[in-house]
Structure formats: structure tokens, C-alpha cells
Chains A and B, each alone.
Chain A
Amino acid sequence: MREVVIVDAVRTPIGRRNGTLAEVHPVELSALVLQALADRTGVDPAAVDDVVWGCVTQIAEQSSNVGRLAVLSAGWPESVPGTTVDRACGSSQQALHFAAAGVAAGHYDVVVAGGVESMSQVPLGAARQVGKPYGPGILERYGTVTFSQGIGAETIAERYGMTRDDLDRFALRSHQLAAAATDDGVFEGQIVPVAVDGGWFTQDEGIRRGTSMEKLASLKPAFRDDGVIHAGNASQISDGAGAMLVTTPEIAERLGRTPLARFHTGAVAADDPVTMLLGVIPATKKVLERSGLGIDQIGVYEVNEAFAPVPLAWLEEVKGDPELLNPAGGAIAVGHPLGGSGAILTTRMLHWMKAHKIRYGLQVMCEAGGMANATIVESL
């Protein structure tokens, strides 16, 4: 098997729903990160064997294979293929796994993994409005239950005895860390500025600098009257894209670039689809076991902040160091543009590892259907 490296990783700033990126077509958003990746790495786009692109709600502006359309919109040669991947919220993390597997197996020499979601243009659940995804077998197996992320998050909070205060404190931490990272310029080297009406969009816009425990306490529960989950301790609805260049160490060397990291280990796992969000725990166990590493060897964890109970339950189960969890904040503060989030998280983690000279990083994301992807990367 060939070794796999990630040469570079870029992302757009994350826009709030109906915010600064709302008018930017998701294919355009995708093309921007592709162009930036080629610009920065100096790779000839003609050498790209495939573009593996995560996107969740693949209808309307995100239909007809966003990955291929992104290539064409970027002005890349027509010889570059593209495909679109749906692994729910972990779609572009899965895209990275497919890309890495393709390089390891020799199907690809150079490949781009990434993803996009414009939740402003194609709302969450829009595809379910035009059809019935659950066939009779599902109804028979799971009864009349609809798979609700919110109820899943409530169930986890209850199971782990998390109070509203615990969850809100975590949400506040996310905003504070994301604000501090933005102010310190932590994200500058990874962000692709986007030209929009009124100027250049260069920073994640979901961060609420003025938030406080009091303000979070005033928000009404979103899923159950007696619940603890609300808009303030769940991920925000957003627009954004991210992309990574994946290849072998030899080809990276020919490009004259020191890769950001080696793709060390990838795993995907699944758990009960009703609780939905706890796949992160078996996925982490699997990826650690497969890598031969212990959690104490990992220097940073990116655990997607879909809902505050997810990273908190994960931390408890894997006995991780709270300090190393989402050190620049997460989706509660900056948002979660579904199909783009996997690549955005990896981008954030890789640049963090480089800045802090961290050897191993671990990313894990909960996904609808009870699934989760887990990735370990190693700095070079």
C-alpha cells in the first residue's frame, strides 16, 4: 500500500444562514477552494485524477454531481473527473477517506477531497420534502419513529446526566475559543477570501462575541419543552466549503511542497440510528485500535460540535484531555455547513497541528443514520 499525504488544505470562511455567502452558488463556492488549492500548491489541475466532493442535500443548486460541476466551474481541464459523496454530516471527511484509499490503492496519484454546503440555498431536509426516504422495511424495524437529531442529542444528554448548564458552558467555550482564534489570526493561512457585494469575506461570521451564560440560559429548548438542547448549544446552519490535496509523498516532493500531514488511519463505524449521534465512540475506538495509537498520544481532537452533548459524551467515553478538544472552537460558534464540514474540520486541525508542532490529530464527526467517520493524521 502506498503512503498518503495531505499537501495542503484550504477553506472558505463560514457564512451564517442567509448571511454573506447566501448568494454564492455552492458550485462557485466549491470552485473557489479548488482554484485556491491549485494556486497554493502549484499543482497542475490537469494532473488531478479525481475530485471527491462531500455534499449532503444533493438537489436543486447542489444536484447533478457538485464535484464534477465544481471542476468545470473552476476552469479546470475537462479531463478532470469529479464525484459527490453523501455520508451525511461527515461527507467530506468520507471524501478524504475515499481519496486516501484511492491513492493508497494506486487508483489515484493526485486527488482532491473536499466538500460544500450552501444551507441558505438548499435547506437541510429539502430532499426529504420531495419524497419518502424510509421504505417499509425501516418503518417495520423502527416503528413510527422519525430519526431526529435533536431528540438524539436530548437522549445523549439524559443518558450522560448532562445539565443545561454543562451544555451552555461548552457552547460559551466554543464561541470564546473561536473568537480568540480569529483575533489571533489563527485561521488566516487557511482561509480563501470570497469576493461578495460590499467587499471581501475573510472571517467566520457565526461567532457571537457578546454571548454569555445568561444569554444562553434565555434560549428556549428546541426539541422538547423540558429539553436542554437549544439553538445556542447546537451547531449553526451555515454555508461553506473546504478542499485538500491528497497524493503520495513522492509526488508532493516533486511539487516542492512539504505536506501538512500524512493520512495515518481512517475508520467508519455505526451505532443505533435513533440516538444517531453516538457513532463517534465506536468510530474512535476503531480508528485508535487500527492505528495502534492510544488517546494519550493524540495532541488535538476535532470532534464536530453538532450538538454540545456529542463532544462531551465522546470526551467522557474516550477519556480525552478536555484542553485538546476543539481548541479553536467548533460548529456551535462558527457553524456546520454539512457537506463542507469534514474538510473544514480537517483544514482547521492540520493548520493547528502545524502551528503547535503537534504530531497526531484525531477528527471524528457524528452522522445521520448513527454513523461516524474517524481520521488520524500525522504531521511530517
Chain B
Amino acid sequence: MSEVLFEGADGVGVITLNRPEAKNAVTRAVSEAVADFLDELDRRADLHVAVLTGAGGTFCAGMDLRAFLRGEVVSLPGRGFGGLTERPPTKPLIAAVEGWALAGGFELVLACDLVVASASARFGLPEVKRGLVPRAGGLLRLPRLVPRAVALEMVLTGEPMSAARAAEVGLVNRVTADGGALEGARQLAASIAANGPLAVATAKEITNATEGRTLEEAFAIQRPLADRVFASEDAREGAAAFAEKRSPVWVNR
């Protein structure tokens, strides 16, 4: 059985971490497989968005400690932990979280754009409890996503956060019943996949590229990217379909 599964249908890719016996912990092989699937996602014209999830009722326990002990370097140069954290895909990525997303597993969640979690999902960065610090983006992304005090409470105490609290502070978009995170994420993905793919990918690009910039800089960054979208065939198709009261047929250019 493959340690990472990938399927793509109806515009939506699903990447499943599939090592339930190790709580989907990340080995070098997992990082490589995820990186390959993210490349495939960005390359394939028929996929517009993807879901990242874990098999067996858990999301991911972080780095595989047994792999670490046998001397494996789990992160990929240029791609990061799980093949994701240092270079997320161009297309939107949704985390579907059941159970624990811990340490590196939570940092994978933070590298996703949207999060759907089941009611009993738990998120945490316990590194300080072991005398370590998170290094797969947790310290860098979390304070940008939630208020600084909330981020630092998680980081400095190492205590996990519930799905309800994560939704309250804006880390999680939707909370589902247990066992429903993947389906919830697929629904969210379907509503993204229905939209103009060039517009969706560019919207994500602009949001990321302008982060931390002054408004003046941000508008300057945005201009050529938005111009390309406004000049696209999809922009004309979107307007035409709306006028003709029909579903648009996107060409991604």
C-alpha cells in the first residue's frame, strides 16, 4: 500500500497521508511523494484545487521519530517538511483534519489555505515540551493567521487546541461532525473548483505575494497579475455565461 495516495476528479485532487499505523507521520518518502503530487496538481489543467488529509481518523503526528532515529532527513531542500511547508502549490490547498494534527502535522495544516476539521480534531505545537522549537513554518505562519497572543500561547505552552477554539480564532473554516472532515473539504473544494481557475490561482498568488507589503507596494505587485486575469478568455467567458444565465466553461487562460 502506498504511503501517500492521490486521486483527482471533478477538478479536485485529494492527497491522503496513508501511514495510519504511524499516525501518518512524515518520512522522507512521504515528503517526496507529497511534493510529486503537488507538482502534479499544479501541472494538470483538469485540477483546480486539492485537499490534504490523513488516513485512519488522524491527520498527521509530525515527523516520523523512527525515521529521524535512523538518520533520515525528512524535509526536502527547497520544498520543506512533507514536501509542502516551504513551497506550497500555486493552486489552493485545503486541509481536512480528523484527530490530531501535531507538530509538523500542524505545520502542514498551516501551509494549507483553508482548513476543515472534525469536531474532535486537535491541533498543537508540542515542540517546547521536548526542548525543541517548531521549524517547519509553525512559528512563521501561526502569528500571521491568529492574534499574536493566541499563537504564542500555543507555541509557548505546547498545549493542543480544540477544533472549536481553532474555528473561533479563525484557524479553521468549517467544523464538521467526526468522520466528516474530508467530505466537508470536498464540498468546499467543489465550490472553488466551479470558479474560474486562472482567477482562483491568481487570487491566491496575489494574497501571498502582497503579504507584509505596504499598500502602495501591494497594488504595484497586484497590477500585472490582475491585468492578466482581466484580459483572459475566462474573464470574457465568465461575463458571457452570467449574461446568458448558464454555467461557464473555463479554459484556464
Interface positions of A (Cβ within 8 A of B): 28, 31-32, 36, 39-40, 192-193, 195-200, 202
Known: A31-B21, A198-B160, A199-B126. A36 touches B100 (CB 8 A): no
Report A-chain residues with C-beta under 8 Å of the C-beta of B103.
199
CA distance A202 to B103 in the complex (A): 16
B contact residues around A28 at 8 Å (CB):
21
Taking CB atoms, residues of chain A closer than 8 Å to B126 are 199
Instruction: Tell me whether B21 and A196 are in contact (CB under 8 A).
Output: no
Q: What mask results when residues 60 to 96 of chain B are scored 1 for a CB within 8 Å of chain A, else 0?
A: 0110111001100000000000000000000000000
Which of B58, B61, B65 sits near A202, CB closer than 8 Å?
B65
Tell me the minimal C-beta distance from B24 to chain A in angstroms.
8
**Do A197 and B65 touch across chains, with their CB atoms under 8 A apart?**
no
Contact B99 A197 (CB under 8 A): yes
Q: Across the two chains, which residue of chain B brings its CB closest to A40?
A: B70
The 25 listed contacts between A and B (C-beta, < 8 Å) are A28-B21, A31-B21, A32-B21, A36-B66, A39-B66, A39-B70, A40-B70, A193-B65, A193-B66, A193-B69, A195-B22, A195-B25, A195-B64, A195-B65, A196-B23, A197-B58, A197-B99, A198-B102, A199-B61, A199-B62, A199-B102, A199-B103, A199-B126, A200-B65, A202-B65
Do residues B66 and A192 form an inter-chain contact, with CB atoms below 8 A?
Answer: yes
- Give bound CA distance, A40 to B69, whole Å: 10
12 A-B pairs besides A195-B61, A199-B62 with CB distance below 8 A are A31-B21, A40-B70, A192-B66, A195-B22, A195-B23, A195-B25, A197-B99, A198-B100, A199-B61, A199-B103, A200-B61, A200-B65
| B125-170 contacts to A (CB < 8 Å) | 126, 160
How near does chain B come to A244, taking the closest CB pair, in angstroms? 18
Please report the C-alpha to C-alpha distance between residue A198 and residue B64 in the assembled complex, in whole angstroms. Answer: 13
Minimum CB–CB distance for A34 against chain B, Å: 12
Majority SS at the chain A contact face: mixed
**Which residues of B have CB within 8 Å of A196?**
23
User: How many Å lie between the Cα of A193 and that of B22 in the bound state?
Assistant: 10
B74 to chain A, nearest CB (A): 13
Task: List the B residue with the shortest CB-CB distance to A191.
Answer: B69
Report the tally of A-B residue pairs with Cβ distances under 8 A.
36
Complex CA gap A156/B61 in Å reads 47
Q: Which residues of B contact A39 (CB under 8 A)?
A: 66, 70
Instruction: Compute how far the CA of A255 lies from the CA of B58 in the bound complex, rounded to whole angstroms.
Output: 37
Closest CB of chain A to B61's CB: distance in Å?
Answer: 5
Shortest Cβ gap from A1 to chain B (Å): 35
Chain A residues contacting B21 (CB-CB under 8 Å) are 28, 31-32, 195
Q: Please, how many residues of chain B have a CB less than 8 angstroms from a CB on the other chain?
A: 19
Q: Specify which chain A residues have a CB less than 8 angstroms from the CB of B58 in the assembled complex.
A: 197
Please name all residues of chain B whose beta carbon is closer than 8 Å to the beta carbon of A193 when the two chains form the complex. Answer: 65-66, 69
Compute how far the CA of A123 lies from the CA of B102 in the bound complex, rounded to whole angstroms.
31
| Residues of B contacting A197 in the complex (Cβ-Cβ under 8 angstroms) | 23, 58, 99-100
Distance of A198 Cα from B66 Cα, bound (Å): 16
**Which chain A residue lies CB-closest to B22?**
A195
What is the minimal beta-carbon distance from B64 to any residue of chain A, in angstroms?
8
Question: Shortest CB–CB separation between residue A30 and chain B, in angstroms?
Answer: 12
B6-32: which residues lie under 8 A (CB-CB) from chain A? 21-23, 25
- For A31, list chain B residues within 8 Å (CB): 21
For chain B residues 82-128, which have a beta carbon within 8 Å of chain A?
A: 99-100, 102-103, 122, 126
Within the assembled complex, what's the spacing in Å between the Cα atoms of A36 and B21?
13
Closest to B61 in A: A195
Residue of chain A at shortest CB distance from B99: A197
B contact residues around A36 at 8 Å (CB): 66
With both chains docked as a complex, state the minimum distance between the C-beta of B37 and any C-beta of chain A, in angstroms. Answer: 22
Q: In the complex, which residues of chain B have a beta carbon less than 8 angstroms from the beta carbon of A198?
A: 100, 102, 122, 160
Q: Which of B65, B102, B122, B126 is the most central at the interface, judged by chain A CB atoms within 10 Å of its CB? A: B65
A199 to B23, CA, bound (A): 9
Contacting residues of chain B (38-68) with chain A, CB-CB under 8 angstroms: 58, 61-62, 64-66
Most B Cβ at <10 Å: residue of A28, A195, A197, A198: A195
Closest to B100 in A: A197
Q: Quick one: closest A residue to B63, CB to CB?
A: A200
Q: How far is the CA of A197 from the CA of B59 in the complex (A)?
A: 10
Quick one: closest B residue to A195, CB to CB? B23
Q: Which residue of A is nearest B58, CB measured?
A: A197
Within the complex, what minimum Cβ distance (angstroms) separates A351 from chain B? 14
A261 to chain B, nearest CB (A): 22
A14 to B79 Cα, complex, angstroms: 37
Contact partners of A40 in chain B: CB under 8 A: 70
Residue of B nearest to A197 (CB): B100
Expressed in whole angstroms, the Cα–Cα distance for A198 and B70 within the complex equals: 22
- Specify which of B23, B25, B70 lies most central, judged by the most chain A CB atoms within 10 Å of its CB: B23
CA distance A156 to B100 in the complex (A): 48
A32 to B22, CA, bound (A): 9
A36, B99: Cα distance in complex, Å: 26
| Chain A proximity of B43: nearest CB distance (Å) | 31
**Nearest neighbor of B66 in chain A, beta-carbon distance:** A193
> Which chain A positions have C-beta within 8 A of B65?
193, 195, 200, 202
A36 to B69: give the CA distance in the assembly, Å: 10
- Nearest-neighbour CB distance to chain B for A225, whole angstroms, equals 44
How far is it, in angstroms, between the C-alpha of A36 and the C-alpha of B58 when the chains are bound? 22
